[in-house]
A and B are shown apart, each in its own frame.
Chain A
Amino acid sequence: MRSPFHSEQEAFRFLLLLILGLLPIVLAAALGPTWLALVVLAVILGVLALRVAQLRMRKVRGLALPVKMAPPHMGSAAERRVLIVANDTLGEEALLSEVERLACVPDTRLLLLVPALISPAARLTGAIDGLLDQARARLKTALDRAAHGLVVAGEISEADPLEAIEDTFATFAPDEVIVSTRSERAASGLEPRLAGLVRERFAVPVRHLVFDPGSAVQEPDRDTEARYRHEFGDAAARKFGLKALAGAGILAAVLMSMVALVQSSERDEARAASQAAEQAAWLPPVAKLVALKVIAASKRGPEGEKHDAFTTTEFAVRAGQPQQLRIDNTDSVPHSITAPAAGVNIVVMPGTHTYTLLVKQPGTFLWFCTFVCDEWAMQHPGYMSGYINVS
């Protein structure tokens, strides 16, 4: 697999940019609302995508490099190395004759490079094997026809044709390149502008052989090469532009959906909070502290006798909100406020103490004293029993 970086400096610069890019996102997430972090992320992604698209567009159109390069010659001083790049034209009689002729020239080594032209769609659909088989069959035909010992070799490449040629420069170091195409690009064929791109990039002579059905092989002049370059560069740029536009649209849609989602959940939270506040405003007011007493034989019953009693037996509280009770138990024994259904059991010790009454769910709950005292009063609300109203 190819490394996307050409040098350590490039990798280091990428790391630095990554950190610089993440910094504003982290800051926005830490200091601002979530949607702001998403917007910052969107802006950074947009800038990044724009730069990548710009670089890719330059590559798609052809780099217009001012400097051609080539590695040192390989092999003996007399040896001449020729790289022939072809795909669908490899079966052409004129090309095979040229391969055969070159193979017969003393001290000439030939390498046939067949880019299999595997598109991303073919990779996704698993059509690679078919394309590779086609390329192998073409190469075999050419090798069968022209092979003379070790002077002719062949290679199939899955990479982009220009990258495959670049790789071959590193391993084979050709002294001349022959690029064979048709004047119009076929589905399984090389682009006619490939020769121009190779000529622009590498400091070796490049020949372009163009094959068209029913006509003899041609070597296009400078103007025709420029036209190929222009037409196919524009077509590739348009195709890439459409893909980039579609990608940008999808990215924008995803980011906008995320921002909308975050904003909507924030709105929901705010609405729930305001509804809770409204509901709280409608509820009856609750005293912060309720003061009461427990007094033995203090309250007269319907039969005329005096019974033990709490001075307050009904408590209004809010669910989940603690209510302070200041109880002065004047009796010499403890009593309690016990409501099993509400999860309440307050043991009221003799003397004055402050207790917390907390009920989590709304409703009306009966409470009573569980300490044995006045049996009648324990069973009658308003005496040693009563209700907790939870709103």
Chain B
Amino acid sequence: MLIEHPDEAAGLAIASGLRFAGYAVAVCPGPLGHGQCPLTGPAGCAPAHDADLVVCSLGYERVPAREVLRELRTRYPDTPLMVEVPSDIDADLRELLDGCHQLPASATPEQIVAAVQSLSGRAVEEDHAGA
């Protein structure tokens, strides 16, 4: 699981919940944490490439955060995205979020873990149904 969260403590809290739920985690502060985000460069982002699911909580009122979301959707179209979204979103963001799993902004780590588990369960059921 890749967790994109600008706040270190909140990112670690989500990571801890997911770890106890049995997932290996990677936590990234996003484009505001360490300058240039590798996702927007030519090399791409190895953790995003390896992830089974990306949890994005970057606050999408900012352009760099939207860029990250756009890159994730373009470069890794098969990786599911779970995005924390604010209550009022503009048309551009609505279009960007189309097809993503959405969570209300400021979801607690427990809510995020539950949503991830529910999504993973659904994915396993779909796999079984497909088989």
Query: Which residues of A does B touch, CB under 8 Å?
Result: 64, 66-73, 77, 175, 203-205
Q: Scoring B residues 16 to 38 as 1 if CB is less than 8 Å from chain A, else 0, what string do you get?
A: 10011011111111000110011
| Contact of B12 with A205 in the complex, beta carbons under 8 Å | yes
Q: Tell whether, in the assembled complex, residue A69 and residue B20 are in contact, meaning their CB atoms are under 8 Å apart.
A: no
Decide: A203 and B23 in contact? CB cutoff 8 A.
no
B22→A203 contact, CB < 8 A? no
A67 touching B26 in the complex, CB below 8 Å, given contacts A204-B12, A205-B12: yes
Q: How far is the CB of B22 from chain A (nearest CB, A)?
A: 5
B47 within 8 A of A: yes
20 contacts between A and B (CB under 8 A): A64-B34, A66-B29, A66-B37, A67-B2, A67-B26, A67-B27, A67-B28, A68-B15, A69-B24, A69-B26, A69-B47, A70-B19, A72-B23, A72-B24, A175-B16, A203-B3, A203-B12, A203-B25, A204-B12, A205-B12
Q: For A70, what are the chain B residues with a Cβ–Cβ distance below 8 Å?
A: 15, 19, 24-25
Minimum distance in angstroms from A55 CB to a CB of chain B:
16
Chain B's nearest CB lies how many Å from the CB of A174? Answer: 10
What's the minimum C-beta distance from B58 to chain A, rounded to whole angstroms?
Answer: 13
Query: Are A77 and B15 in contact (CB-based, < 8 A)?
Result: no
Q: A71-B19, A72-B19, A72-B24 are in contact. List 13 more A-B contacts (CB 8 A).
A: A67-B26, A67-B28, A68-B12, A68-B26, A68-B27, A70-B19, A175-B16, A175-B20, A203-B11, A203-B12, A204-B12, A204-B15, A204-B19
Residue of A nearest to B33 (CB): A66
> Distance in Å from the Cβ of A63 to the closest Cβ of chain B?
11
Interface size class of B (residues with CB under 8 A): 20 to 34
Which 7 pairs of residues, A with B, have the shortest CB-CB distance?
A: A66-B34, A203-B15, A203-B27, A73-B19, A73-B20, A67-B28, A68-B27
| Complex interface: chain B residues within 8 A of A68 (CB) | 12, 15, 26-28
List A contacts of B11 (CB < 8 A). 203
CA distance A71 to B25 in the complex (A): 6
* Inter-chain contact total with CB atoms closer than 8 Å: 53
With a cutoff of 8 Å between Cβ atoms, the chain B residues found around residue A64 in the complex are 34
**Chain A interface main SS type:** loop
Whether A67 contacts B47 in the complex (CB less than 8 A), given A72-B24, A203-B12, A204-B12, comes out as: yes
When C-beta atoms are compared, the residue in chain A nearest to B17 turns out to be A73
Summarize B's interface: helix, strand, loop or mixed: mixed
Measured CB to CB, the nearest residue on chain B to A199 is: B8
Q: With contacts A175-B16, A203-B12, A203-B15 known, is A71 near B24, CB below 8 A?
A: yes
Q: Chain B residues in contact with chain A, CB under 8 A?
A: 2-3, 11-12, 15-16, 19-20, 22-29, 33-34, 37-38, 47
Contact across chains for B22 and A73 when beta carbons are under 8 A apart = yes
Residues of B within 8 A of A67 (CB): 2, 26-28, 47
Say how far A13's CB is from chain B's closest CB, in angstroms: 14
**Cα distance A68–B11 in the bound complex, in angstroms:** 10
Chain A residues with Cβ below 8 Å from B27 are 67-69, 203
Inter-chain CA distance A69–B51, complex, in Å, is: 12
Best-surrounded residue of B3, B11, B20 (most CB of chain A within 10 A):
B20
Question: How far, in angstroms, from A66 to B3 measured CA to CA in the complex?
Answer: 12
Q: How far is the CB of B33 from chain A (nearest CB, A)?
A: 6
* Bound Cα distance A204, B19 (Å): 10
Whether A72 contacts B22 in the complex (CB less than 8 A), given A64-B34, A67-B27, A67-B47, comes out as yes
Residues of A within 8 Å of B37, CB to CB, are: 66
**B15: chain A residues within 8 A (beta carbon):** 68, 70, 203-204
For residue B38, which residues in chain A have a CB less than 8 angstroms away from its CB? 66
Q: How far is the CB of A207 from chain B (nearest CB, A)?
A: 13
B5 to chain A, nearest CB (A): 11
* Interchain CB contact under 8 A, A203 and B20: no
Q: A67-B27, A67-B28 are in contact. Are A204 and B34 (CB under 8 A)?
A: no
* Residue of A68, A72, A175, A203 with most partner-chain B CB within 10 A: A203
A68: nearest chain-B partner, CB-CB: B27
A110 to chain B, nearest CB (A): 18
Q: Residue of A at shortest CB range from B29?
A: A66
In the bound complex, CA of A72 to CA of B33 (Å):
24
